[in-house]
Amino acid sequence: MMSKTYFRQIVPYLAAIIIFLGITLIYFSPLLEGKKLKQHDIAMFKGMSKEIVDFRAKTGEEPLWTNSMFGGMPAWQISVKYSGNLMMDLDRVIRLGLPGPADYVFLYFLGFFILLLIMKVDPWVAIVGSIAYALSSYFFIILGAGHTSKAHAIGYMAPVLAGIIWTYRGHIWKGSLLTAVALSLEILSGHLQITYYLLILVAVYVVYVFFKDIKEKKLPYFLKASGLLIIAASFAVLTNITSFLGTYEYSQYTMRGKPVLTKEKKIKSGGLDKDYITAWSYGIGETWSLLFPDVKGGASGYIGKEFSKELKDTPAQFRQIISQQNAYWGNQPGTSGPVYVGAIVVFLFVLGMFVLRDKFKWAMLIATILAIMLAWGKNFMGLTDFFIDYIPGYNKFRAVSMILVIVELTIPLIAIMGLDRIIKNPAILRNKMNWFYASLALTVGIGLLFYIFPTLFFPFFSKFEMQQFSQLRQSNNAAQVTAFMDALQNVRIVIFRQDILRSIFFILIASGLLYAFILGRLKSGWMLFLLGILILIDMVGVDRRYLNNSNFEIAKKAEVPFHKTLADRYIDKDKSPDFRVVDITKNVFNDASTSYFHESIGGYHGAKLQRYQDLIDFYLLNDINNLRKVFTQHPTLQSIDSVLRSDQTLDMLNTKYIIYNPNAEPILNPYAFGNAWITHKVKWVKNADSAIVALGKTNLRDVAVVDKVFSNILQSSDFIVDSSATIKMTSYAPNLLRYQFNSKSPQLVVFSEIYYPLGWEVTIDGKKAQYFRADYLLRAMTVPAGNHQIVFKFKPKVWSVGEVVSFISSLLLLLLTVWVLFVEIRKFFRNLKNN
C-alpha cells in the first residue's frame, strides 16, 4: 500500500497533468462539441497537400513530389509521413491523443513544467510557471493562424533546454538522454526556424557554462558533457535524417539557397533577400507589448470592429472614417496580435533578476536582450546585418520577429525561479525591500509615465500612415487633415491607456499578494494559488482577444475548406492526364485553394524553387496582370485571344484553363504547349541571366533555350523536322510520368515539368537516359528515332537510405528510453516498499 509520504510526493505531478488538461480543454471547449478551429494556414495546407494525401490514400505510398503547386516541387516541406521514424509514435503518446490544436497547448504546459523541475523549482510553483509560459499570447495567435508546426516546435523548446542544463549540472546520462529524445521530437515538428532560434539560446547558455566551468576548474566535465550532448544531438538528427537531408537538398534550389541570377547576388548572400528577411521586424517601441499588450494596438483590422466603445467621444464628422482605420499602428506590414508575456510575469522577471543568486540568470538575460534586438530587424540593422552576413543559417529565415519565442521562454523562466526562491526563503526579500520597490518602479512606474505622457514616448501613427497624411496635407485642406489626425490619435491613446492601466492593475494586485506573504500575513499556499489565478486571468484575457469561440466552426466545414465552383466542375470534365490551371480571381502565388482541385501554376509556400520565383518575377506576374486587365475592360474574344497568344510562359507550363469567374466556364487556352512538345532548334545561352531574358525573345514552341552547361548532354543544335513525329503523355502520377514517342528521326523533346536534378530518373524503353534543363526551368531530352516509351520516376536516394537510418536510430533511442524508465520505475517501487 502506498505510504502517505509518497502519495504527497506524487500529488503535485498528478495535479499538474489535471490542471494542464483542465485549462486546455476548457479553453478549447468547442472542440468537445465537434467543432474545429478555423485556421487559414491549415486550409492552405489542405490545398497544397491534397494531391499528396489522395495519392497516399490510394496507393499507400509517399509520392515525395507534387505537381499541384508552382508547376511542381518536392513534397518535403508540404506533407510527408516518415514511417521509419518511430519517434512519431512517442510524440502522439505525449500529446495524449488530444484534438488539435489543444494538443500543442498541452505540450506548452508540460514542456515548461519539465524545465522548471530540472531547475529544482517546487512542483506547485512550477504549475503556476507553466501557466504563465503556456498562455503567452503569441503561442495562441499562431494557433489561430494555423501555424501548427511552429506551435509543435515551441512545445519542445523547453524540454530540449532542460536536457542540456541537466547534463551540465551533473546528471550527465539522464540529461543526455532527455536531450536526445526532446531534440528528436523538436526536429520532428518540422519547423527549422524555431529550432534554429532554440539553438541560439542554447549557444548562449553553453558559452556561459564554458566560462563558468573554466573559472571553477571543471573543464574536463564540461568537455565530457559536451561530447555526450553532441552524441545526443547526433541521435536526434539521425532519427530525422530523411527530412533533414531532403530539406537540405531541396533548400539549395529554393529562394533560401544561393541566387541564380546576377542581379539577385547583389542583394542576397546565399540566402533570402534582406528586405524579405526583415519585412516583419518588431518595432523598438513595440517591444513594450511584452508588458502592455496594446502598446501599438491589437491585430491588424478596423478600429470600429475591435474598439467600438472607444469611439464614443470622437467628433461625429470623423467617427465613421476613424472606425475604418487600422487598429494596429506599428510599422510591421500587418500583425495578428502582439507578443504579450504577461504583466505579472515581467514584474516577477525583474524581481527575479534581483533575488536570484544563480549566475544562470545573466545568461538568460543576455539571450533575452539579444533576441529582442534581433527581433527589431531593420530597425536595428547593424546587428541584423552581422547575423545575416556572418552567422551560418540566419539568412535562411524570414520574419525576424519570430525570435521573440526565446524571450517568451527566458522571461517566465527567470520570473518563476525568482518566485520559487522567495517562497522558499521570504527573508531574502524581506531584508531587501528595495529590490521589491525597484521592480515596481521598473514596471508600474514606467507604465504610469507612459499613461501620463503617451505622445512623449510613442508615435500613434505608422510610418506608412505618416506618408499618407503628408501627401493628403499637400492636396487637401491641411487643417482638416490635422484635425482628423488629432481625433485618430486620441482614439488610439484611449486604447493604449486602457491596457497600461490593465497591466498596472495586475502588477499591483500580484505585488500586494507577494508583499502580504513576505510580511507573514498570507500563507505561501494561498499566495501561490491566488497568484496563479491572477496570472491565468491576465493571460487568458489577452489570448481570448485573438483566439476565442468565434474562431471555431462546424468540423465538416473545416475538414473540407474548399468547394467546387462551376468553373472547377467544368474543368473536371477534361479527362486529359495532366494540365495546369490559373485562377486570376485569387492571389495566385499566395493561395493554395486552386491546388485543392487542380494542378496550379500558383500556390502557398515560403520556399519556392528559386528558378520558379524568377519566372514569376520576370513573366508570370505580368502575364496574369495582363489577363486581369483584359477581363476588367469589356473583354472580347479577340482581346482575350491576343493576350493568350503572347503569354508563352503560361503556355510552356501547359496552362490549359484560366478561371476568370468561379461561377462561369473557364477560358480554354488553345496555345498551351501540352505535356510535352518536339522542338527543332536549340538556342544556346551562356548563363541563367541570358536564359531568362531569352524566354521573352524566343518562339519556345519551336526553339529550346538551353544553358551551355548542358552541352555535354545535348551535342546537337538542329534536328531533322518530322511532321509526323508525336509525343503524348499516357499516364500520370505525381511521381511517375509515362509518355509515348514516335518519330522517324531523333528529336529534341521539352516537357512541361519542372526541372529538379535530384531524385528524378528517366528511362527510354526501360533503359536509363539523360535529361537536362531547358527554357530556364523545364525538363528536356533527346529521343532516338523509333517508337519508344519514356518514363520519369521520382526516386530520391535520400528517402530509401534515410528511412532505414531513421528507423534504426529511433528504435535504439526508444529502447534506451524504455530501459531508463523501467529502471527508474523499479527504483520508485523499491523505495515505496521500504517505506
Per the CB < 8 A criterion, the answer to whether 682 and 704 are in contact is: yes
pLDDT, position 287: 97
Q: What is the pLDDT of residues 648-703, one digit of tens each?
A: 999 999 999 999 999 999 999 999 999 999 999 999 999 999 999 999 999 999 99
Query: Would the pLDDT of 598 be above 90?
Result: yes
Q: CB count, 10 Å around CB of 25?
A: 16
Q: Which of 451, 499, 468, 500 is closest to 321 using CA atoms?
A: 468
Q: What is the pLDDT of residues 459-513, one digit of tens each?
A: 999 999 999 898 888 877 888 989 999 999 999 999 999 999 999 999 999 999 9
CA distances 152 to 52, 147, 187, 418, 448, Å, are: 22, 9, 10, 28, 38
Per the CB < 8 A criterion, the answer to whether 655 and 578 are in contact is: no
Burial class (CB in 10 A: 0-12, 13-18, 19+), 819: exposed
Of 105-119, 281-295, 306-320, the one with minimum mean pLDDT is 306-320
The model's confidence at residue 457, banded by pLDDT at 50, 70 and 90, is very high
The model's confidence at residue 832, banded by pLDDT at 50, 70 and 90, is low
Average pLDDT over residues 637-647: 90
Query: Would the pLDDT of 723 be above 60?
Result: yes
Q: What is the pLDDT of residues 577-597, one digit of tens each?
A: 899 999 999 999 999 999 999
Q: What is the pLDDT of residues 163-186, one digit of tens each?
A: 999 999 999 999 999 999 999 999
The model's confidence at residue 6, banded by pLDDT at 50, 70 and 90, is low
Q: What is the pLDDT of residues 345-381, one digit of tens each?
A: 999 999 999 999 999 999 999 999 999 999 999 999 9
Tell me the helices (H) and strands (E) count for the chain, helix number first. 36, 21
Average pLDDT over residues 21-42: 93
Burial class (CB in 10 A: 0-12, 13-18, 19+), 563: exposed
pLDDT, position 1: 46
Average pLDDT over residues 750-778: 96
pLDDT, position 556: 83
Per the CB < 8 A criterion, the answer to whether 685 and 706 are in contact is: yes
Report the alpha-carbon distance of residue 627 to residue 620 in Å, rounded. Answer: 11
Preceding omega of 30 cis (within 30 degrees of 0): no
Cell numbers 514516335 correspond to: 742
Calculate the CA 206 to chain-centre distance. Answer: 26
What are the φ/ψ torsions at residue 620 (nearest 5 degrees)? -60, -40
Kind and range of the H or E run holding 235: helix 219-239
pLDDT, position 3: 58
pLDDT, position 308: 84
Burial class (CB in 10 A: 0-12, 13-18, 19+), 577: middle
Query: Would the pLDDT of 636 be above 70?
Result: yes
User: CB within 8 A of 596, min separation 6: which ones?
Assistant: 46, 47, 50, 561, 562
Average pLDDT over residues 315-342: 93
Report the alpha-carbon distance of residue 43 to residue 30 in Å, rounded. Answer: 19
Average pLDDT over residues 10-38: 94
Q: Which of 353, 358, 351 is closest to 369 using CA atoms?
A: 353
Query: Would the pLDDT of 223 be above 50?
Result: yes
Query: Would the pLDDT of 264 be above 80?
Result: no
The model's confidence at residue 313, banded by pLDDT at 50, 70 and 90, is confident
Q: Is 107 helix (H, G, I), strand (E, B) or coil?
A: helix
* Average pLDDT of the chain, as a whole number: 93
Query: Would the pLDDT of 255 be above 90?
Result: no
pTM value is 0.92
